[in-house]
Amino acid sequence: MDKRNSHSEPELLRLVAKGDKDAYQEIFRRYWSQVYGTCLRLTKSPEFSKDLAQEIFLKLWDHRLKLPDVKKLDAYLYTISRNQVLDYLRKNVLAPSHATLLEDYFSYNTPGPQQRLEFLELEKSVKEAVDRLPPQLKTAFTLSRDEGLSHEQIARQMGISRVSSKAYIVRALTEIRKYLSAHADKPIR
């Protein structure tokens, strides 16, 4: 087993502050999906999100001396990610030359009553399907989808392996699909 994986978050932060590149790589591996996911949710562009995530990790390295003071790295990275995306949007998207892009990005058709009802029914069915999952599957699925945790974070929180985390989520999705298929023709109540 890699010696690095046994370090706690505060230990990793102290090591990175001292210039330990292996510890930095471990943080990168642990938090890449969270940072990239945050950027993707905010920009809706995989290409820009990848570039922004890389810039965020470069910024983390550049400001590594501050890391020992960080209490929760995931919250710290989320704040950096949000600020980096906002800076990007301010400089590149909100420029007057991008007016058409902005109009397209923010324009959408307001759903009609039928669409809203269908969405509410689908949402209700998904909630029923999730509520019927076995406890471990439900917990893993909820941590992944509702809280946005990575497989690594789910594994740590549930005391299981990363592989088990993935397996639980795959099984949960399979069960949810089965439930939705079986109840697709259920009348609206």
pLDDT at 79 over 70: yes
pLDDT of res. 23: 93
- Going from N- to C-terminal start, the domains of the chain cover 3-106, 113-182
Could you tell me if 139 and 129 are in contact, meaning their C-beta atoms sit under 8 angstroms apart? no
> Distances from the Cα of 25 to the Cαs of 9, 47, 88, 89, in angstroms?
13, 22, 25, 28
Nearest Cα neighbor of 31 from 67, 81, 71 is 81
Check whether 72 has a pLDDT greater than 70. yes
Of residues 155 and 93, more confidence is placed in: 155
* Among candidate residues 41, 169, 188, 176, the one with its CA nearest the CA of residue 119: 188
Query: 159 pLDDT exceeds 50?
Result: yes
Structure confidence at residue 100 (pLDDT): 62
Average pLDDT rounded to a whole number, residues 56-70: 92
How far is it, in rounded angstroms, from Cα 131 to Cα 149?
A: 19
Task: Specify the residue for token string 């990363």.
Answer: 162
Above 50 in pLDDT, residue 4? Answer: no
Per-residue pLDDT, 107: 55
Long-range contact set of residues 105-112: C-beta below 8 Å, sequence gap at least 24 = 105/44
Q: In this structure, which topology does domain 113-182 adopt according to CATH?
A: Arc Repressor Mutant, subunit A (1.10.10)
Whole-number pLDDT of residue 5: 55
Domain 3-106 has CATH 1.10.1740.10: yes
Higher per-residue pLDDT: 116 or 182: 182
What's residue 102's pLDDT?
Answer: 58
pLDDT value of residue 41: 83
